[in-house]
Amino acid sequence: MSKELTIIIPHKDRVDALTDCLTSLSQCDEIDNFKTVIVDYSDDTNLFSKNLDAIIVRKRGPFHINLARNAGRPEVDTEYMAVLDCDIIIMPTLLTRALDQIKSPNICVIGAVRIRMAISDGQTRLALLDHVSLNNLIGSFMLFRTEDYDAIGGFNPLMRGWGYDDLDFVNRIEKHTGKNRGIMLDCYYHIEHPIRPAEDRGKEEQNNRTIAMKTHYDKEKEEWVWNI
């Protein structure tokens, strides 16, 4: 049976989280309907030596999330594709419902509700991380049509760091298709980890917003360029 979906997972140095992420994927209802591509920036050549059913794309150099997402595109030969952060545990029915919803005539990209997961002293704590809103699409999981991704040049590779990378992609795919984003009420879990100060993250987001305004995808050249 031909597969409908390719899932791209960028990975830098969170092999513990990646293991949990892959385990959750192996328990999905759509296990026979998708393939997994890991874009790996780690230095450990033995990292994925066993028990891994995935295509590995090895990359070197500084890790940038949009470059990593785009690096998996050559391995995609399916009608739909998704990007998934490596520190995410998804519910078994999420992919089935996301694939059903993306086929709706007025939907162009799917996100889902995110819940924070923290484990300490053997205890698991869960907390709703983000307000559920059709205007709030979380970048840790996004599913969309491959042809739409190609038409808008994928993720903006000129952006650096985190912040606004997901909203920029969603805004452009909505503009291109004339369709809307969708939010799945199925939840996924974000494995908690240390984060940089809010001030640093805020600067990265503002820089990416500026880059979004000053760059565009040139369809004829098939490359991202700075506005003249």
Q: Find the domain containing 175 and state its range.
A: 5-226
72 pLDDT above the threshold of 70: yes
Instruction: Give the closest residue to 164 by CA, choosing from 202, 130, 194.
Output: 202
Q: Other C-beta atoms within 10 Å of 72: how many?
A: 23
What whole-number percentage of the chain has pLDDT above 70?
A: 78
Residue 178: which pLDDT band, with cuts at 50, 70 and 90?
very high
With cut-offs at 50, 70 and 90, classify the pLDDT of residue 151.
Answer: very high
CA-CA distance, 76 to 79, in Å (whole number)? Answer: 9
Give Cα 61 distance to the centre of its chain. 20
Give dist(CA 228, CA 127) in Å, integer. Answer: 45
Residue 126, pLDDT score = 47
The pLDDT of residue 129 is above 60: no
User: Where do we find the tokens 């923290």?
Assistant: 118
Q: What is the dihedral of CA 8, 12, 18, 19, to 10 degrees?
A: 130
Distances (CA, A) of 113 to 2, 62, 202: 29, 30, 22
Between the CA of residue 218 and those of 71, 153, 182, 186, 223, what are the distances in Å?
Answer: 19, 8, 27, 36, 6
pLDDT, residue 13, reads 82
More confident residue, 172 or 115: 172
Q: What is the pLDDT of residues 12-54, one digit of tens each?
A: 888 888 888 888 898 887 778 899 999 998 876 555 544 457 8
CATH number at residue 81: 3.90.550.10
From the list 36, 155, 143, the residue with the least C-alpha distance to 80 is 143
**Residue 122: is its pLDDT beyond 50?**
no
Indicate the number of domains in the chain. 1
pLDDT higher than 60, residue 118: no
Mean pLDDT over 121-125 rounds to: 49
pLDDT at 217: 94
